[in-house]
């Protein structure tokens, strides 16, 4: 294999699981790691993960709803949601504000350069990566496109209409196969397991959800990693707890 593609999501501040997964995949410089958002909040080391990601040339972070809440809070657009107890943003906020101004600005610049939706065509395989939304226009979308109005992408990063993954089931078969890979929804809500959830809608669309409940903390759930080889085939699914 010339290179490998690795995909994770929803690390939620659990730096120890992130490091264990990096050790397991043994990421090489020719490989690519995509992280589909929500590296912050709930766990207490989300800022440490962000700083680590910023230093890696072959890692691309996507905007998750938790990074979205962070940006909209800091920009005065939504001063409530991030600090709801269920969202767990306070621990991230405290660690972020403890940094010097230059480091805070570096992190914000990094978050404004994240992907929201990305299409990968590898041989005959077509993958659509996002934190959770499923737009159908075939375009890559980036956070910097919405610098002045982040609220316009709220539905995309929260799995709301018209971008809900559930709507894929209603699409007609067009002769094109697409696999949507996302996180956001803990897989135990979709089936009786903390392992990756895969649903074939029977219309050319397949959904793979890789949020295996890492946010639930020590002793619960997993951080998962989808492994795709350079032929475009899904080669493995890895887990750490």
pLDDT, one tens digit per residue, over 171-212 is 999 888 999 999 999 999 999 999 999 999 999 999 999 999
Residue 191 makes CB contacts below 8 A (sequence gap 6+) with 197
Cβ(134)–Cβ(160) under 8 Å?
no
Average pLDDT of the residues of the chain: 96
What pLDDT score does 217 carry? 76
Query: Which CATH number characterizes residue 66's domain?
Result: 3.60.21.10
Domain that holds residue 93: 4-240
Q: Which pLDDT band holds residue 219 (cuts at 50, 70, 90)? A: confident
Residue 85 makes CB contacts below 8 A (sequence gap 6+) with none
Which tokens in the block code for residue 177? Answer: 């196969």
Rg of the Cα atoms in the chain: 17
Average pLDDT estimate for 111-134: 96
Alpha-carbon distance of 48 to 30, in angstroms, equals 24
What pLDDT score does 216 carry? 87
Cut 0.95: pTM above it: yes
Q: Which pLDDT band holds residue 13 (cuts at 50, 70, 90)? A: very high
- Whether omega for the bond prior to residue 162 falls within 30 degrees of 0, making it cis, is yes
What pLDDT score does 106 carry? 98
3-class DSSP state of 168: helix
With residue 47 as reference, give the H or E element that holds it. helix 46-54
Which tokens in the block code for residue 44? Answer: 């207490």
Q: Among 113-122, 130-139, 142-151, which stretch is predicted with the lowest mean pLDDT?
A: 130-139
- Number of domains observed in the structure of the chain: 1
DSSP state of 62: B
Residue 68: is it exposed, middle or buried by C-beta count within 10 angstroms (0-12/13-18/19+)? Answer: buried
3-class DSSP state of 10: coil
């Amino acid at each position: 294999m010339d290179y490998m593609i690795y995909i994770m999501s929803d690390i939620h501040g659990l730096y120890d699981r992130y490091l264990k997964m990096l050790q397991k995949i043994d990421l090489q410089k020719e490989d690519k790691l995509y992280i589909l958002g929500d590296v912050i909040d709930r766990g207490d080391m989300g800022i440490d993960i962000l700083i680590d990601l910023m230093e890696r040339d072959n890692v691309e972070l996507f905007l998750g709803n938790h990074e979205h809440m962070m940006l909209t809070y800091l920009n005065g657009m939504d001063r409530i949601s991030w600090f709801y107890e269920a969202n767990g943003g306070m621990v991230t906020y405290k660690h972020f504000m403890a940094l010097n101004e230059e480091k805070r600005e570096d992190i914000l610049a990094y978050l404004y350069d994240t992907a929201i939706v990305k299409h990968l065509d590898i041989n005959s395989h077509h993958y659509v990566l996002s934190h959770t939304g499923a737009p159908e226009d075939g375009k890559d979308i980036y956070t910097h496109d919405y610098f002045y109005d982040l609220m316009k992408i709220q539905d995309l990063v929260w799995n709301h209409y018209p971008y809900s993954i559930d709507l894929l089931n209603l699409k007609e078969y067009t002769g094109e196969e697409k696999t949507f890979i996302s996180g956001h929804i803990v897989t135990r809500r979709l089936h009786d397991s903390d392992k990756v959830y895969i649903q074939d809608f029977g219309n050319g669309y397949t959904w793979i959800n890789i949020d295996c409940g890492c946010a639930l903390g020590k002793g619960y759930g997993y951080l998962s990693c989808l492994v795709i080889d350079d032929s475009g085939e899904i080669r493995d699914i890895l887990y750490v707890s």
